[in-house]
Chain A
Amino acid sequence: MSAVATQSLLGVQSLAVEYGRVRAVDGVDLQIGAGEILGLAGESGCGKSTVANAIMQILRPPAHIVEGSITFQGEDLTHKSTEELRKFRWRNVSMVFQSAMNALNPVMRVGDQFVDMMQAHESIAKRRATVRAGELLELVGMDRRLVQAYPHELSGGMRQRVIIAMALALSPELVILDEPTTALDVVVQREILQEVEALKRDFGFAVLFITHDLSLLLEFADRIAIMYAGEIVETGPAEQLASTPLHPYTQGLIQSFPPLTGPRARLTGIEGSPPDLRDMPSGCRFHPRCPHCLPENAALYLRQTTERPRLREITPGHSVACHLVDA
């Protein structure tokens, strides 16, 4: 862990975010090292996008950070001014949203949208910026002549590539991908992720990859953090999480993806649904859905239903918040 901590690019410490009085993120710690792909997985409403928005400092009221800090290259982002943040976004950290392809201006040529963005951050001549836009489009596997295209002339996958190219335009150190390919077809999704992986190798940026699709992360991420009801319940290297998931929620998630090969067995998934953030279960937030939380087991049951488990390191780099593992 110490090796990661010293080269840490981004550090999130005990972050808590509330929407009004509803706490959507509660005590989240994350470290991203330079050039690393960290996957953040969880279901809708677990707070994963809120974490990303907090890092970008784009939380909109009533959402606000109530606790914790976010440091980027040693500087606390929560204390930056609006102007400092404006420069920081795109230049240091850029973000691609799930529906980003719909964020392109429909009446502007793709190339001009690159020019606008670049000129907002540096003094660059329009002609040079357009050439650069063409190069970026080629990087993401598109024809450079498409700088002349209007967004409606491109498919959803191509528009999402345009956004990814834009996110890379100012060579940021960190790119946040929030469900970047969820709205796309499987073949396109894989092509884009392969491209991001190759670009990452060439340019050395780090990636925070947010998705509900754990199977994608097991393949593309170096490390994975699993979020449930506003907390990180397990984090570790991708291979370890795939081979020995420790938290019953992680185990259930992995059990929720039917396999394409091997025997066709009936899967169970996870009983129940994620909790209402306004009415969070006591103790372990997962206990109402946990198959190992049984009243017969009186002593353990009491802890599960009254005491909040803390994230503890079990093997180097692999931590879990679960009473079962403590015991």
Chain B
Amino acid sequence: MSALEVRDLSKNFAVGGALLHRAHVHAVEDVSFSLRPGTITALVGESGSGKSTVARIIAKLYDPTSGSVVFDGGDIARVRNRRDVLRYRSQVQMIFQDPFGSLNPVKTVRHHIERPLRIHRIVPSSQIDDRVHELLRTVGLVPPEEVAAKYPHELSGGQRQRVAIARALAVEPKVVLADEPTSMLDVSIRIGILNLMLELKEQHEIAFLYVTHDLASARYLADDILVMYAGQIVERGPIERVLAEPLHPYTRLLLASVHGERIEERHGRSSAAVDPAEGCRFVTRCPIAVPVCRQVTPGLVEARPGQSARCHVTAPSAD
């Protein structure tokens, strides 16, 4: 059973300039996956791979070029009327990278957490204070009465991110999208935020999408992994299996660079896929490419139970 499903999602952005004629960046192409309750799915890739765009489409901050986001039986990408959007947003919440920019500096912590409770009418007015305090306790901000009266500038980065998480939890969401929630925090407090997400997953049965470039934290948190490269999912599966025996050469490259192995192939850079030609997107960097890789775009093929990759060599299609 899935809490939310993404089907064949694509998003193009038009780019232009003096040098180029109008072209399109295929930021996201043919992305499909589902998020399950009580499960953390890591969406891993380098900057420009399209991972944040996927999260933003799910959060309805962008509209997809094609494809659908299925929640509660309906396609959310096509929902327009305000009431339905509001209802969707009360179920699917997003936590951003920057806890300094996502809180209003002239409002107290109480204000930030009260607002969603009122807008979405989660509890009767008389219970709002109690619920604010309860939420602050849930995210480890104690004593809640004291914290609620503070302004963002009086809090550390880690505390601010906890406020942002409490605000997301206020509406009792089924799905939480966390876009690099710890990358701007100090090393010593990152683990605290990751542990909080683990607790929330277990206690509240939330389906998490954890967007990150950090494989180690993905392994620490997630049950499943989606590896993105140049707009496409190039590998997916249970995270332990994928990291132990990666199929796609890009996943192997990522692993090698965090394992401290020497990286050999070094032509090219991650191509932000501008009007991509047919063929594998990774071919210019790939150490195991064969001629067909330049001609045919590989599909996502399940090469081992539950583990799929887009690679003609390691995950050839049956036909």
Whether A186 lies near B46 (C-beta < 8 A) is yes
Whether A186 lies near B258 (C-beta < 8 A) is yes
Whether A157 lies near B269 (C-beta < 8 A) is yes
Docked pose: A273 CA to B193 CA in angstroms: 13
Docked pose: A234 CA to B198 CA in angstroms: 32
Interface size on B, residues (CB 8 A): 37
Out of B46, B188, B219, which one reaches A43, CB within 8 Å?
A: B188
Do A273 and B156 form a contact, CB below 8 Å, given A189-B257, A258-B219, A260-B255?
A: yes
The SS class assigned to the B binding surface is helix
Quick check: is B62 within 8 A (CB to CB) of the other chain?
A: no
Residue numbers in B under 8 Å from A274 (CB-CB): 186, 188
How distant is A89 from chain B, measured CB to nearest CB, in Å?
30
Quick check: is B230 within 8 A (CB to CB) of the other chain?
A: no
1/0 contact string of A180-194 vs chain B (CB within 8 Å)? 000001111111001
Most chain B beta-carbon contacts within 10 A, residue among A44, A214, A258 = A258
Residue numbers in A under 8 Å from B257 (CB-CB): 186-187, 189-190
Whether A219 lies near B260 (C-beta < 8 A) is yes
Whether B216 lies near A194 (C-beta < 8 A) is no
Docked pose: A44 CA to B269 CA in angstroms: 30
Quick check: is A106 within 8 A (CB to CB) of the other chain?
A: no
Whether A260 lies near B258 (C-beta < 8 A) is yes
1/0 contact string of B230-244 vs chain A (CB within 8 Å)? 000000000010010
Most chain A beta-carbon contacts within 10 A, residue among B187, B189, B258 = B187
Quick check: is B83 within 8 A (CB to CB) of the other chain?
A: no
Docked pose: A44 CA to B188 CA in angstroms: 10
Whether A269 lies near B220 (C-beta < 8 A) is no
Docked complex: B243-294 residues within 8 A CB-CB of A = 243, 253-255, 257-260, 262-263, 266, 269-270
A-B contact pairs, 24 of them (CB 8 A): A43-B188, A141-B266, A157-B269, A185-B46, A185-B47, A185-B213, A187-B253, A188-B46, A189-B257, A213-B187, A253-B187, A256-B187, A256-B188, A258-B194, A258-B216, A258-B217, A260-B215, A260-B258, A264-B220, A264-B240, A269-B191, A269-B192, A273-B157, A273-B189
A residues with a Cβ closer than 8 A to B are 43-44, 141, 155-158, 185-191, 194, 212-214, 219, 252-253, 255-260, 264, 266-271, 273-274
6 nearest A-B residue pairs (beta carbon): A269-B191, A258-B220, A185-B46, A270-B188, A43-B186, A273-B156
Given contacts A190-B260, A274-B186, 6 further A-B contacts (CB under 8 A): A43-B186, A185-B270, A187-B254, A253-B187, A266-B195, A274-B188
